[in-house]
Amino acid sequence: MNALHPDADRIGRIRRRFQTGPAFVSVERARYYTAAWRASEGLGLAPEIRVALAMRAVYERMTHHLDPDDRLAGAWTEHALGVPIDIERGVFNAVFDAELTRPRMLKARALTAARAAGYLARRGGLVTFLKNQRIARAHGGAPLSMALDPMPARRVNPFQIRPADRRELLGELLPYWRGRTLVDRLDGALADSGLRSRDMHDFVLAVAGGASRQVEMVSTCATVATLQGHVILDHDKLLRLGLLGMRDEVRARAAEAEGAERTFLESLEIALDGVIVFARRLLARIDRELAVAPLRRRPVLSALRDRCARVPLHPPTTFAEALQSLWTVKTAVELAHPVNLHAFGRLDQILGPYYDADLAAGRIDPEAATALLEELLLKIMAQNLRPESNLLANFYHRFLGSSPVTVGGVTPDGADGTNALTYLFVEAAARSRAVTNLSVRVHPGTPDALLEAVAGHVAAGASCFSLYNDAVVAEAMERRGFAPADARDYALMGCVEATSPGRTGGMSANALLLSRLLDITLRDGDSALLAGTVRGEAPPLGAPPATFEALLDALVARAAYFIDKIVRASNLRDRLYAEHLPAPFISAFMEGPLERGRDVTRGGARYDLSGISIINAVANLVDALHVIRALVYERRVCTVPEVLAAVDADFQGRAGEAILAEIHAVPGRWGNGDPAVDALAHDVVARLAAEVHRHRSFRGGPFVVYAISMITHTIDGRLSVATPDGRRAATPFAASCNPANVEREGVTAALRSVAALPFEEMLGAAVNLKLHPSAVGATPAARAKWVALIRAYFALGGAQLQPTGVSAETLRAAQRDPDAYRDLVVKVGGYSSYFVDLGPEVQDEIIARTEHGASGV
Amino acid sequence: MGVVYDVQGYAVHDGPGIRTAVFLKGCPLRCWWCHNPESQRPEPERDARGDWIGEDTDAASLVGRVARDLPFFTASGGGVTFTGGEPTAQLPFLLEALDRARAAGLHTALETCGAFGSRWLAPLAARVDLFLFDLKHVDADAHRRGTGVGNRRILANLTWLLRELAPGRVTPRVPVIPGFNADPASRRAIAGFLRDRGYRGPVHLMPYHGLARDKYARVGRAQDFRAAPALTAADRLAIAADLDGGGLSPVWGGA
């Protein structure tokens, strides 16, 4: 911390406002979008034209918020901290509908409960349900919050809304969109698709309550996300041409095109028009402020005005202009595609030349540049909040520190790209205490000084850093069809997912839930949940596997069955987007759509990605297989049905306790560097990945593998029965790619196990490493050893590492006295968050993670 | 076979780089301040909870397990450190483990109290890259009072190593114990001993801490625990000053 730098107070005020100021739901976007959408009804316009017109209408009428502390202008709502509503996608519509007032909340909960009770009564599962609720409470898990605090009054992630806005939203806007949103269409299409088993279909209808629709279930072990995003825009082109230049280019192409292509190019022109309107109205807002501002504010405001008068319409001439250009466009496009989900990419590479030129000309100094970057990181964070349902409140928080900024690493031609800005970003990430992920790419030529700087900040408690191994990530990209130079130019999006920035479409995120997959395999098609057993999730195969190899084969066959369902559901969703909600505001800033005359949702981008995340979790699955191999197939201590009986009893009773004792006595859990278990982990993941890689999306891009659990390992764990690795019912799964807190052999062994996974077959994985601060960087010598630890882990084939350098004592102290630890940042799944913002179950899960120290006296 | 009671990875205070510390059981000394009382008896024993401390281990599998961390050793200039207990209390086993470690390409360090027969000096010197050699007290009576044994053999062994081995292969370590050797006369005598034998380089100062009480209880020897006053910051400064200069440079906590 540098309390002396002149912007420290200003940055502190911005941070405080975001951390503790009220967050508002803004209806402006929903209001203007809906009006324009209705106005274009029945005119026979193509959907991409209607989308572009509707968003342009938003830009034409929205209110711009301007803050005295702004040095980067532009917010996506009229509030200092607000969230717009993506009403046409409808991801959160049901949450607003049910949870803004107490009476509506009571009604919605009563309906949900009645539906669930009806389902349970029909299924005769009430006894099991009640038994499982007892089991869950025995592990201290608060039941899914049925708390009846409406959104403005709840403790975790509250949102305010103006009364008139609330009336408009509930009375006019939401009713119009009912049945018309993308999510509603997807609900209907999935129900009609036959992808869900009959029992699953009933189950989904029973549990679908007031929760958001960020995720839709296809099976108990398979989900598809509803989001639209996960891209990095072509920022180089924006800076090179400016919006006006880009629009000229589109116009020239459109003049030569015809038919559907011409229509599409027109949608790009309207989209660029819209962003230009957004920028011009932002400038007008500053002008109005300037007209009434006191004298002392004028220098700052007129500098801001000058920057916004040039960019993003024209190419920037300075570092500050370049940053403002990116920020204006990011804010506008983010508003077209809330929430989160597009990232900035390699900002040190993009902005480096502007910074160098300014520095050489004496127009900027490192302090001023760092302050701008701090503001940027905080503002990225402020566009990364979600109006999630109260049902998940125990697991949620205000900000997700995803939407990463990528720095460092090799250039497309393979040279070291580390530059002066790389260091300033590292410094800014630590100083700002924003939760925004700073993704630091590492290769053998990365200077030790950069990693030592990261080590120092991690030891001081900054947990917003993630480290990426260029060699492995670029190799993984090439295997999925990226040209070598484009692979080397990778950047991170979402939380930890690699993409080639500015040229890769990709709006598909899906998940395969591994412990459920094993459960279904062991139960020959049925799937046990704490809420009851869903029958016939997969066709029965009959005879139980006679050997461990046969069990593995069965698991992989089951995986193939569900991956096929996921792919079909993913394509179903993406076709709905292509048909009903194309993305001209992303297509306009992407390499490919212009050249191919095709929207990014229809495969217009140069590359395209669809993904399946393998979660909940590699560690639990591998440990369970390892245990079953030892107990059932090698030592023949028990049978699969006996293991399942113990699992169903949550290892209680004499038989359950006996089996749990046997399970705990099996040595060599994954995470202890045991070569045989590490090989099992490698083989299982490689075989699952191969099943995913067989598929291509309807846009023509590959399906790729991720291993990133966000907070689902806690939520899903809460809903899950025990697992054969000894994990008790209703307790968390391992996070992302982490071992299941069974590491006893120290940090090097844990990292050897993790590095044994086939990361060259994945495009994104999160590995949390919780280190006691003294093990990271108490002294320069300690920092050097930590740097060597990272380099060795990467040399072994590790792809990613996100260190948290906070001790368990500190985390417990923060639980007791949240106000004193307001700035404490921790890693959750693949992203960072303020610890004191997190729900209690997620806090406990983080504290329970294995903490690695340095050994020796 | 030898008796090993712990193997710890990412040891960063027991020699250069990232190291794995191998703790051998059994020690000829009985230092009243001992931080690892569970290491003193040579044979495996059960703690108060019934868990075993120490395990019969063969050198081949021990070194095989340690060598899995070779990539971390290579990246950091680290290796394996044999400590204890007193590793030389299991000499044939120690020599075999050292041989196997060197054959596996590991840098070897030995943390020793120095209380072993002089005939083992040359065999050890041929197998150990770095000696972390405890120098507890120069005065024989004080040494006997504090550790239960005299220091003639220890000082002779250290003298031999300092004379015969290249600079950098021996680092003296001084446990700084109030009431034993933290007084000005004792510490100056230690500094003088080293300077007189031509030693130039770092001296690791290992500060006394009173955290071992639970460990004594764990091995059923709560009555043997003796607390000493903790070192103050002023103590540390004064002690370091006496071990500074004339070619010596004090390093607290080892490295």
pLDDT average, residue stretch B19-45:
93
Q: Is B159 on the interface with A (CB under 8 A)?
A: no
Tell me if A514 sits within 8 A of A562, measured CB to CB.
Answer: no
A722 neighbors A627 (Cβ within 8 angstroms): no
Q: ipTM value of the model?
A: 0.91
Least confident interval from A269-278, A537-546, A617-626, B111-120: A537-546
Cα distance between residue A78 and residue A76, in whole Å: 7
* Three-state secondary structure string covering chain B: CEEEEEEEEEECCCCCCCEEEEEECCCCCCCCCCCCHHHCCCCCEECCCCCEECEEECHHHHHHHHHCCHHHHHHHCCEEEEEECCHHHHHHHHHHHHHHHHHCCCEEEEEECCCCCHHHHHHHHCCCCEEEEECCCCCHHHHHHHHCCCCHHHHHHHHHHHHHCCCCCEEEEEEECCCCCCCHHHHHHHHHHHHHCCCCEEEEEEECCCCCHHHHHHCCCHHHCCCCCCCCHHHHHHHHHHCCECCEEEEECCC
Q: Is residue A156 within 8 Å of A840, Cβ to Cβ?
A: no
Single-letter amino acid code for the residue at A658: A
Percentage of chain A modeled with pLDDT above 90: 73
A-chain residues near B67 (CB < 8 A): none
Residue A214 confidence class, pLDDT cut points 50, 70, 90: confident
Structure tokens at B199: 């030693």
Using a CB–CB cutoff of 8 Å, tell me whether B18 touches chain A: yes
Which chain B residues are within 8 Å of A856, Cβ to Cβ? 8, 11-14, 19, 21, 81, 254
Tell me how many domains chain B contains.
1
> A287-298, pLDDT tens digit by residue?
999 999 999 999
Residue with the two structure tokens 């230092």: B31
Question: How confident is the model over A611-666, as pLDDT tens digits?
Answer: 999 999 999 999 999 999 999 999 999 999 999 999 999 999 999 999 999 999 99
Above 90 in pLDDT, residue A824? no
Provide the residue count of chain A.
857
Q: Are B158 and B114 in contact (CB under 8 A)?
A: yes
- More confident: A532 or A581: A581
Model confidence at A322: pLDDT above 90: yes
Q: In this predicted structure, what is the pLDDT of residue A143?
A: 53
Collapsing DSSP to helix, strand or coil, A41 comes out as coil
CB interface of A with B, residues 103-162, below 8 Å: none
Give the whole-angstrom CA distance, residue A543 versus residue A552: 14
Q: Do A748 and B10 touch (CB under 8 A)?
A: yes
Residue with tokens 């994990």: A727
A777 three-state secondary structure: helix
**Residue B131 belongs to what domain range?**
2-252
Size of interface A-B (CB pairs under 8 A): 81
Report the CATH number that the domain containing residue B120 is assigned in CATH: 3.20.20.70
Range A312-338 average pLDDT: 97
Least Cα separation, residue A421 to chain B (angstroms) = 27
Measured CA distances, A381 to A135, A376, A384 (Å): 38, 9, 5
Q: Which SS3 state, helix, strand or coil, does residue A703 take? A: strand
A673 touches chain B (CB under 8 A): yes
Alpha carbons A532 and A720: distance in angstroms, whole number: 10
Q: State residue A142's pLDDT score.
A: 54
Chain segment A422-446, per-residue pLDDT in tens: 999 999 999 999 999 999 999 999 9
pTM, rounded to two decimals: 0.94
The distance of A650 to chain B (nearest Cα, Å) reads 27
pLDDT at A137 (0 to 100): 72
Residue A146's pLDDT band (cuts 50, 70, 90): low
Q: What is the mean pLDDT of chain B?
A: 93
Residue A135 has pLDDT above 90, yes or no: no
* Range A370-381 average pLDDT: 97
Range A508-525 average pLDDT: 94
CB-based contact A854 B19, cutoff 8 Å: no
**Which residue type occupies B196?**
D
Contacts of B82 in chain A (CB under 8 A): none
pLDDT reported for residue A340: 61
Average pLDDT over residues B126-133: 98
When CB atoms are compared, the residue of A747, A785, A853 closest to B76 is A785
Cβ separation B71–A792 shorter than 8 A: yes
